């Protein structure tokens, strides 16, 4: 590649920078060379669950001080992390899986760092929503990621507000609520094509496609285990016309 910058040069870390590093969501081979390089270079790593991340680091033979940083200690831990960054330390931020701050801790620290003019650099990699979207077979040119639907409070409004959305919708869901969410998708959105991606990048990866009741029926035939992304077709003109004629 004539003229391309030396990748190792580009991967060098800069003192006083917060590196937001994506890690695999199952298959450890999905870690990037740059993520490994950065994890080795930073002074220390702020991790959502230090025990979980220690296993990842051990697998890649990386020895680095780990500090816990999660939803319940973020306000207490952020000032100390910012002080270290302002003192010129290089800090890596990782979560249990995928990209920090995507339905994971990170946003609060990133925003505070930027307020204090600390450079923030993403070391991109895996996030569960993108592979789920691309294999869903649903339109990818416009989509809306909605994270986890609220478990109770605000759930009805959440789905009602999305019923008129024409972009493809993406939700994260736990195994305990995936059937309930599929039932609500049918209830609030009507007949739509849905894809449920289970255990992406792992041994039992599977993608179930159909309407929400069809996918729920497939899921009910097995033990509902693992991690799920639900992708839902957006509303289109034909559906709106049918709805209008049903109502009128
Ligand atoms: N930060 C992560 C990311 O970048 O995708 C998401 C973390 S969030 C706490 C965890 C949720 O992501 C799971 O409940 C599931 O909805 C989704 N997820 C994570 N790994 C997955 C996988 N291997 N297969 C399917 N969904 C997954």
Residue ID of nearest Cα to ligand 1 atom 20? 25
Residue 237 has a pLDDT of: 80
Q: Indicate which atom in ligand 1 lies nearest the CA of residue 201.
A: 23
Q: Are residues 154 and 173 in the same domain?
A: yes
Best residue among 23, 93, 97, 231 to mutate for probing ligand 1's pocket (most ligand atoms within 8 Å of CB) is 97
Q: Are residues 25 and 100 in the same domain?
A: yes
Residue 93 has a pLDDT of: 98
1 found inside a domain = no
Is the shortest distance between the CB of 97 and ligand 1 below 6 Å?
yes
Q: What is the pTM of this model?
A: 0.95
Residue 9 has a pLDDT of: 78
Q: What's the CATH number where 118 sits?
A: 3.40.1010.10
Are the beta carbons of 61 and 124 closer than 8 angstroms? no
End position of a domain, from candidates 74, 105, 123: 123
Using alpha carbons, list the distances in angstroms from residue 20 to 57, 66, 70, 104: 16, 14, 14, 12
Is the shortest distance between the CB of 130 and ligand 1 below 6 Å?
no
- 98 Cα–ligand 1 center, Å: 7
Residues of the chain with pLDDT under 50: 1-3
Give the closest residue to 134 by CA, choosing from 124, 125, 143: 143
- Considering the chain, what percentage of its residues have pLDDT values greater than 70? 97
32 found inside a domain = yes
Is the shortest distance between the CB of 54 and ligand 1 below 6 Å?
no
Q: What's the CATH number where 172 sits?
A: 3.30.950.10
Are the beta carbons of 11 and 37 closer than 8 angstroms? yes
Is the shortest distance between the CB of 53 and ligand 1 below 6 Å?
no
Q: Are residues 36 and 136 in the same domain?
A: no
Q: Indicate which atom in ligand 1 lies nearest the CA of residue 129.
A: 5
β-sheet bridge partners, residue 32: none
Is the shortest distance between the CB of 200 and ligand 1 below 6 Å?
yes
Q: Are residues 157 and 111 in the same domain?
A: no
- 32 Cα–ligand 1 center, Å: 18
Q: Are residues 115 and 185 in the same domain?
A: no
Is the shortest distance between the CB of 104 and ligand 1 below 6 Å?
yes
The order of strands in the sheet holding 91-94 is: 66-68, 44-47, 91-94, 18-21, 120-123
End position of a domain, from candidates 85, 105, 123: 123
* Dihedral sign for Cα atoms in the order 7, 114, 100, 185: negative
Is the shortest distance between the CB of 229 and ligand 1 below 6 Å?
yes
Q: Indicate which atom in ligand 1 lies nearest the CA of residue 199.
A: 24
Residue 129 has a pLDDT of: 98
Are the beta carbons of 16 and 86 closer than 8 angstroms? yes
d(CA 85, CA 171): 34
Contacts of 47 (CB under 8 A, 6+ apart): 53, 66, 67, 68, 69, 93, 94, 95
Boundaries of domain holding 31: 7-123
Q: Are residues 157 and 226 in the same domain?
A: yes
Residue 5 has a pLDDT of: 56
Residue 209 has a pLDDT of: 98
Residue ID of nearest Cα to ligand 1 atom 2? 98
Q: Are residues 114 and 133 in the same domain?
A: no
- 99 Cα–ligand 1 center, Å: 9
Residue with tokens 């009602």: 160
How many structural domains comprise the chain? 2
Coil, strand, or helix at residue 46? strand
Q: Are residues 25 and 107 in the same domain?
A: yes
CA–centroid distance for 55 within its chain: 20
Tokens (6 digits) for 25: 């969501």
Contacts of 35 (CB under 8 A, 6+ apart): 21, 22, 23, 123, 125
């Amino acid at each position: 590649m004539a003229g391309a910058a030396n990748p190792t040069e580009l991967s060098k870390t800069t003192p006083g920078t917060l590196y937001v590093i994506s890690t695999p969501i199952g298959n450890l081979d999905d870690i990037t060379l740059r993520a490994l390089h950065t994890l080795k270079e930073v002074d220390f790593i702020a991790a959502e669950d230090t025990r979980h991340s220690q296993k990842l680091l051990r697998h890649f033979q990386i020895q680095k001080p780990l500090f816990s940083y999660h939803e319940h200690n973020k306000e207490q831990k952020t000032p100390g992390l910012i002080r270290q960054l302002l003192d010129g330390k290089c800090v890596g931020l990782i979560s249990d899986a995928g990209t920090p701050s995507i339905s994971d801790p990170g946003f609060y620290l990133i925003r505070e760092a930027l307020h204090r003019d600390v450079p923030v650099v993403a070391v991109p990699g895996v996030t569960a929503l993108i592979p789920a979207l691309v294999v869903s077979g649903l339109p990818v040119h416009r989509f809306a990621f909605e994270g986890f639907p609220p478990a109770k409070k605000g759930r009805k409004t959440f789905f009602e507000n999305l019923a008129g959305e024409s972009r493809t919708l993406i939700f994260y869901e736990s195994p305990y609520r995936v059937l309930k969410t599929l039932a609500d998708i049918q209830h609030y959105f009507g007949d739509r094509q849905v894809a449920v991606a289970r255990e992406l990048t792992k041994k039992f990866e599977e993608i179930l496609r159909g309407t929400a009741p069809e996918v729920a029926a497939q899921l009910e035939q097995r033990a509902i285990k693992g991690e799920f992304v639900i992708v839902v077709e957006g509303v289109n003109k034909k559906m709106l016309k049918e709805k209008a004629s049903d109502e009128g």
